[in-house]
Chain A
């Protein structure tokens, strides 16, 4: 048996590791994806005052700290049985849109674009964002930096602190927005809308009009037939901050539409000893392993799934793009690589939504907090993190001290789907008896990169791309072949 260890972000980081086993004929026997770390937030939240949770949990992930801050803030509201005033609710959402802009811009340009703009077969050494700058011009390169920064600037203007926010307090937010700050947010958000449109145009020209790329996108290596999950508003349109969780099966039929406090009736998690990360699955189907199809419990919570479960987008430009998207790829769409396109549509929505909120007359209202008065008990908060539906669940004593905490975080939702996508890509490439080609690395990379996996913050970098190394070992463990992407 040959063993191939793909350390996508090098063994060094220890934030994700792929191992491929070949049988003696050189055919793929199995693929394992491992997460080598657990930090134990669910335990050490116990004993903390519940209002401190929104300040602690952002450290789960420094790439999407606002998602945790928001889900936690909502869970704490629920614990205290308090509803924030409308202005506070809108301010939170506006703050959150800042993070969506920051994160989606970074992901598309630093990660996805190198494959498409430059082409998967381009010179490896240039297949990163600086390579894009070279190809499309410095102007765009600096735009990317600018708009990524705008995301953070919006967060700072609205909530004071962007990296590990401290904005949410039970029943609202810690401070109102001034008119001066509001104007600045509006200006940046409007520019962001234009940049999002530009990015979609770029994607259209470079990818959609290129049959070679379309072949890759629609090729069998990148189809994954699993269920979809995402948050929707009252009209079943995509929403990141609030709403109900909608689940559609592989055929596109709604099979669940649940409130945050109903998550335990819908979700469960499976444990394997070879990885520190659990595998969430849909309870109604049960855990049947890493398998596709209508009977499997595996689901996906990504930009693609959010579009799949929704009936549309709540803003006009994004809605037009949504229609173009499904007219092109069909609904439900199971093409893993179409996730990049979906992400750009979400970016456009986030920018439009930021403008809407910044222009809302209520947004500068001084009434940003409803002080809790009831005895705290238990609460669940859900938001749509960039990388998947994020659930925080806290139970407290009557003083609001956390007794139990349960978290199902963004990327974890996609754990099973990522494993399966990696395996599929590998199977499409590894041919019996032939040596494993260097191209495998990029194919695998492309498969899991589509999920924008959070455990590899390598997805949010400038300049950046995954370093990769594949070691092919024979059954005695001797190294036969080393493939390096650099």
Chain B
């Protein structure tokens, strides 16, 4: 059996997805046996030019992590799309924008202003900002252009599969790689792989009352965390109802913390935020506008909770500055 030709790439990424792949630990060696790597910046030495020189569709499988944040990310996404038979959006950032896409609530100018001008440790009387090209005495220096918006991978190129998670659970990664390596039939393009088909709530073992009634929301900051009762029952926002199963309940079970939705949307849902509003609205115990308003006021930052990992995929845009 010839080896599977694989590439792994990070765009606007924290590197955690790559660390997660390496966290299959000893199995790394088995993967190394079964796969021939054409690009894996964290682990191996291949160059841009090498990839460009490959015939189109030469790479069997590309695991692409990180969001599209600048011109370089986009350029490489396009290159790897051309060279790959199967392109996988790997991890929340590539899948739905991830944490970096929280920046979509602000403009690039606002972000620059905060980082380079306004921050209290910054001393920048001239108001210098990073420039795509900077002339220096010896020549010119260039850096990629930062976009005004953070995109998921499928917003710039076509994608065959999605592996959700921030980062994807190493066990699942191994299952995916093993399936591909062993030649198992792959699901239809567009599918989410390496995750469940239900909502996290369906497998969460916490006790919940079917007819929840909430008269005010609590915050993790100021509330004791009960280890056995559903967080929503405790009045704490938990994204379980609108999050795909598959992480191994790392927050809700292993850490006694509510879910923030990194495994993305379960099947049949198009917008995590919209769906979460529906889910939360149904547990609010009030009928009068005034009472409802008071309860909603105890719940700050809905956008930041509901789209914590999926802002790029939100149906909502940002108002032009």
Direct contact of A and B (CB under 8 A): yes
- Point out residues on A near B: beta carbons under 8 Å: 1, 3, 7, 9-15, 17, 19, 21, 29-30, 32, 34-40, 42-44, 46-52, 55-56, 58-63, 65, 76, 80, 142, 145, 148-149, 152, 156, 159-161, 163-167, 169-170, 174-175, 263-264, 267-276, 278, 280, 287, 369, 371-373, 376, 393, 399-401, 404, 406, 408, 457-458, 460-467, 469, 484-486
Partner of B221, one of A50, A149, A156, A463: A50
Q: What's the minimum C-beta distance from A326 to chain B, rounded to whole angstroms?
A: 32
Q: A167 vs B257: C-alpha distance in the bound complex, in angstroms?
A: 8
Tell me which residues across on chain B come within 8 A of A35, comparing CB atoms.
143
Is the CB–CB distance between A273 and B19 below 8 Å? no
Q: What's the minimum C-beta distance from A63 to chain B, rounded to whole angstroms?
A: 5
Partner of B138, one of A29, A52, A287: A29
Give 15 new A-B contacts, CB below 8 A, not counting A42-B119, A62-B17, A170-B222.
A44-B106, A49-B221, A52-B301, A59-B98, A61-B14, A63-B14, A63-B15, A76-B221, A142-B26, A145-B25, A170-B221, A174-B256, A467-B47, A469-B49, A486-B45
Is the CB–CB distance between A40 and B138 below 8 Å? no
User: In this assembly, does B44 line the interface, its C-beta being within 8 Å of a C-beta of chain A?
Assistant: yes
Is the CB–CB distance between A169 and B221 below 8 Å? yes
User: In this assembly, does B39 line the interface, its C-beta being within 8 Å of a C-beta of chain A?
Assistant: yes
Q: A272 vs B116: C-alpha distance in the bound complex, in angstroms?
A: 9
Is the CB–CB distance between B13 and A271 below 8 Å? no
Is the CB–CB distance between B70 and A37 below 8 Å? yes
Q: Mark interface residues in B1-27 (1 if CB within 8 Å of A CB, else 0).
A: 000000001101111111110110110
Is the CB–CB distance between A484 and B304 below 8 Å? no
Is the CB–CB distance between A163 and B219 below 8 Å? no
Tell me which residues across on chain A come within 8 A of B295, comparing CB atoms.
none
User: In this assembly, does B166 line the interface, its C-beta being within 8 Å of a C-beta of chain A?
Assistant: yes
What are 10 inter-chain pairs, A to B, with CB distance below 8 A?
Answer: A1-B138, A14-B144, A40-B111, A48-B301, A55-B257, A156-B254, A160-B251, A160-B254, A166-B255, A461-B18
Q: A393 vs B128: C-alpha distance in the bound complex, in angstroms?
A: 23
Tell me which residues across on chain B come within 8 A of A406, comparing CB atoms.
119-121
Is the CB–CB distance between B138 and A21 below 8 Å? yes
Is the CB–CB distance between A280 and B221 below 8 Å? no
Tell me which residues across on chain A come within 8 A of B102, comparing CB atoms.
44, 48, 56
Interface size on B, residues (CB 8 A): 88
Is the CB–CB distance between A372 and B222 below 8 Å? yes
Is the CB–CB distance between A268 and B123 below 8 Å? yes
Q: A280 vs B121: C-alpha distance in the bound complex, in angstroms?
A: 8
Is the CB–CB distance between B136 and A175 below 8 Å? no
A-B pairs with lowest CB-CB distance, top 3: A62-B16, A160-B255, A467-B45
- Point out residues on B near A: beta carbons under 8 Å: 9-10, 12-20, 22-23, 25-26, 28, 32, 39, 41-49, 51, 69-70, 72-73, 76, 98-100, 102-103, 105-106, 110-112, 114-116, 119-124, 128-131, 134, 136-139, 141, 143-144, 146, 166-167, 219-225, 227, 250-251, 253-257, 260, 300-301, 304-305, 308
Q: What's the minimum C-beta distance from A123 to chain B, rounded to whole angstroms?
A: 14
Is the CB–CB distance between B46 and A463 below 8 Å? no
Partner of B16, one of A32, A164, A275, A469: A164
On whether A37 and B144 interact (CB within 8 A), knowing A457-B15, A458-B42, the answer reads: yes
Q: Interface centre among B106, B136, B223, by most A CB within 10 Å? A: B136
Tell me which residues across on chain B come within 8 A of A465, comparing CB atoms.
45
Tell me which residues across on chain B come within 8 A of A51, comparing CB atoms.
219-221
Is the CB–CB distance between B121 and A274 below 8 Å? no
Q: Interface centre among B20, B141, B221, by most A CB within 10 Å? A: B221
Is the CB–CB distance between B103 and A169 below 8 Å? no
Is the CB–CB distance between A399 and B220 below 8 Å? no
Q: A42 vs B116: C-alpha distance in the bound complex, in angstroms?
A: 10
Q: What's the minimum C-beta distance from B260 to chain A, rounded to whole angstroms?
A: 6
Is the CB–CB distance between A369 and B44 below 8 Å? no
Is the CB–CB distance between B14 and A60 below 8 Å? yes
Partner of A161, one of B51, B116, B222, B255: B255
Is the CB–CB distance between B136 and A274 below 8 Å? yes
Partner of B224, one of A9, A268, A270, A369: A369
Is the CB–CB distance between A461 and B22 below 8 Å? yes
Q: A264 vs B120: C-alpha distance in the bound complex, in angstroms?
A: 7
Is the CB–CB distance between B9 and A62 below 8 Å? no
Tell me which residues across on chain A come within 8 A of B32, comparing CB atoms.
463
Q: A160 vs B253: C-alpha distance in the bound complex, in angstroms?
A: 8
Is the CB–CB distance between B167 and A39 below 8 Å? no
* Residue in chain B with minimal CB distance to A40: B111
Q: What's the minimum C-beta distance from B224 to chain A, rounded to whole angstroms?
A: 6
Tell me which residues across on chain B come within 8 A of A275, comparing CB atoms.
130, 143
Is the CB–CB distance between B45 and A485 below 8 Å? yes
On whether A169 and B76 interact (CB within 8 A), knowing A12-B39, A156-B254, the answer reads: no
Q: Interface centre among B16, B20, B70, by most A CB within 10 Å? A: B16
* Residue in chain B with minimal CB distance to A468: B45
Q: What's the minimum C-beta distance from B75 to chain A, rounded to whole angstroms?
A: 9
Q: What's the minimum C-beta distance from B223 to chain A, rounded to whole angstroms?
A: 8
Is the CB–CB distance between B48 and A36 below 8 Å? no
Q: What's the minimum C-beta distance from A139 to chain B, rounded to whole angstroms?
A: 14
Q: A58 vs B92: C-alpha distance in the bound complex, in angstroms?
A: 14
Tell me which residues across on chain B come within 8 A of A276, comparing CB atoms.
130, 143, 146
Tell me which residues across on chain A come within 8 A of B224, comparing CB atoms.
369, 371
Is the CB–CB distance between B139 and A1 below 8 Å? yes
Tell me which residues across on chain B come within 8 A of A29, comparing CB atoms.
137-138
Tell me which residues across on chain B come within 8 A of A467, comparing CB atoms.
41, 44-47
Partner of B167, one of A164, A264, A460, A486: A164
Tell me which residues across on chain A come within 8 A of B17, comparing CB atoms.
62
* Residue in chain B with minimal CB distance to A65: B16
Tell me which residues across on chain A come within 8 A of B129, comparing CB atoms.
271, 273
Q: Interface centre among B69, B114, B223, by most A CB within 10 Å? A: B114
Is the CB–CB distance between B28 and A462 below 8 Å? yes
Q: A264 vs B76: C-alpha distance in the bound complex, in angstroms?
A: 39
On whether A39 and B43 interact (CB within 8 A), knowing A48-B301, A268-B122, the answer reads: no
Tell me which residues across on chain B come within 8 A of A46, comparing CB atoms.
106, 114
* Residue in chain B with minimal CB distance to A11: B48
Is the CB–CB distance between A263 and B106 below 8 Å? no
Q: Interface centre among A1, A55, A149, A152, by most B CB within 10 Å? A: A55
